[in-house]
């Protein structure tokens, strides 16, 4: 039995391959499908071909009840205030039992979210994961490239204006991306936004960045940009230390990156995703916290984000 790889690029066709995910060094990637975990300590490339794969069992991640989440969120907010952080991302895991298979959910997701990167992967290295992520890390065509900053969340049908917290949160991410691109030698940078970006049941504030590659490899740019403040925080090192001290689950592939490298590169931040263990879907959900965050509202934001997969699991 081989590892499983199924994916569909935004507005593209479904690709399905058999083979195996093998550990690689990030700088050695030149072509093919790749997935990296949250801190890039594990990077896997997909090699086609039949091969024997050892079946491995995986431990279920810790899921917070609402009361526990709110307590930890209040601690998280207090730490942001005391440490003077601009922003940090606190995440949780939500469990949902379903008789739908990963294949059934994948097929429903590609119909429901044509503008998302949808995938289903399985390997002895990381288990079985599925997702429909809206966040582009880098896309290249010839010598042209683009990326986005995506932050702030509200329900897609909400007509109220974006609040100060969401606008500041989005600006933090945009400023970071611009700074990183200029540091690496990117020129001819065009910035558009922010504007609304609908992603299934929610919408975000999005700013688009378009630029010339200038002989810089897409992987080098991806490595420079990831993790963005949209999945870590600012200052980055302090935010990551805070996350590690409060979260009790391993993010694994959540907030890592995933996609295709080659003549045309399409890499995405792995959001709106779940790990499948038996008949349980473990949804990974995060929110951007600032000093002005309110724990209850952050809980509601993660609940809204869970609907990307749950709406399909419950209704398709």
Give the pLDDT of residue 252.
98
Ramachandran angles phi, psi of 169, nearest 5°? -60, -45
Q: Give 234-275 pLDDT, tens digit per residue.
A: 999 999 999 999 999 999 999 999 999 999 999 999 999 999
Give the pLDDT of residue 316.
66
Handedness of CA 165, 139, 6, 262 (dihedral sign): negative
230: Cβ–Cβ under 8 A, 6 or more apart, which residues? 89, 135, 149, 150, 151, 173, 269, 288
Assess contact for 176 and 237: CB atoms under 8 A.
Answer: no
CA 138 to chain centre: 13
Cis peptide leading into 194, omega within 30 of 0?
A: yes
Q: Give 162-206 pLDDT, tens digit per residue.
A: 988 889 888 988 999 999 999 999 989 999 989 999 888 888 899
Give the pLDDT of residue 85.
96
Give the pLDDT of residue 151.
83
Give the pLDDT of residue 200.
82
Assess contact for 185 and 212: CB atoms under 8 A.
Answer: no
Cis peptide leading into 254, omega within 30 of 0?
A: no
Give the pLDDT of residue 2.
79
Assess contact for 76 and 88: CB atoms under 8 A.
Answer: yes
Protein fold of 3-315: Anthranilate synthase (3.60.120)
Assess contact for 75 and 246: CB atoms under 8 A.
Answer: yes
127: left (phi over 0), alpha (psi -120 to 50) or beta: left
3-state secondary structure 197-244: EEECCEEEEEEEEEEECCCCCHHHHHHHHCCCCCCCEECHHHHHHHHH
Give the pLDDT of residue 57.
82
Which residues is 234 bridged to in the sheet? Answer: 87
Give the pLDDT of residue 51.
63
All structural domains of the chain with their residue ranges = 3-315
Assess contact for 76 and 243: CB atoms under 8 A.
Answer: no
Element (H, E) at 112: helix 102-112
Give the pLDDT of residue 65.
96
- Three-class DSSP category at 302: helix
Give the pLDDT of residue 56.
76
**CA triplet 269, 122, 148: central angle to 5 degrees?**
10
For the entire predicted model, the pTM comes to 0.94
What stretches in the chain show pLDDT beneath 70? 1, 51-55, 316
76: Cβ–Cβ under 8 A, 6 or more apart, which residues? 88, 90, 242, 246, 289
d(C-alpha 218, C-alpha 140), whole Å: 7
Burial degree of 245 (CB within 10 A; 0-12, 13-18, 19+) = exposed
d(C-alpha 257, C-alpha 117), whole Å: 11
Ramachandran angles phi, psi of 66, nearest 5°? -60, -45
């Amino acid at each position: 039995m081989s590892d499983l790889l199924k994916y569909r690029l935004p507005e593209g066709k479904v690709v399905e391959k058999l083979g195996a995910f093998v550990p690689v060094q990030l700088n050695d990637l030149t072509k093919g499908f790749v997935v990296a975990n949250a801190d890039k300590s594990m990077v896997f490339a997909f090699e086609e071909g039949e091969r024997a794969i050892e079946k491995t069992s995986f431990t279920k991640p810790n899921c917070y009840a609402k009361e526990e989440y709110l307590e930890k969120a209040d601690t998280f907010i207090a730490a942001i205030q005391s440490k003077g952080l601009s922003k940090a991302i606190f995440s949780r895991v939500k469990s949902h039992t379903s008789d739908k298979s990963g294949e059934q959910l994948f097929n429903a997701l590609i119909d429901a979210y044509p503008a998302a990167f949808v995938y289903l992967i399985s390997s002895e290295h990381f288990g079985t994961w599925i997702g429909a992520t809206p966040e582009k890390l880098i896309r290249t065509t010839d010598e042209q490239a683009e990326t986005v900053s995506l932050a702030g969340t509200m329900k897609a049908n909400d007509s109220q204006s974006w609040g100060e917290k969401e606008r500041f949160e989005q600006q933090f991410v945009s400023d970071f991306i611009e700074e990183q691109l200029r540091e690496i030698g990117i020129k001819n940078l065009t910035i558009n936004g922010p504007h609304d970006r609908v992603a299934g049941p929610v919408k975000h504030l999005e700013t688009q960045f378009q630029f010339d590659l200038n002989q810089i490899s897409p992987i080098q740019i991806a490595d420079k940009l990831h993790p963005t403040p949209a999945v870590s925080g600012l200052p980055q090192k302090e935010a990551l230390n805070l996350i590690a001290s409060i979260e009790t689950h391993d993010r694994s592939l959540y907030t890592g990156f995933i996609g295709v490298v080659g003549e045309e590169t399409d890499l995405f931040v792995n959001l709106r995703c779940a790990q499948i263990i038996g008949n349980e879907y473990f949804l990974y959900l995060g929110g951007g916290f600032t000093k002005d965050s309110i724990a209850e509202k952050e809980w509601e934001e993660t609940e809204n984000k869970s609907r990307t997969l749950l709406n399909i699991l419950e209704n398709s």
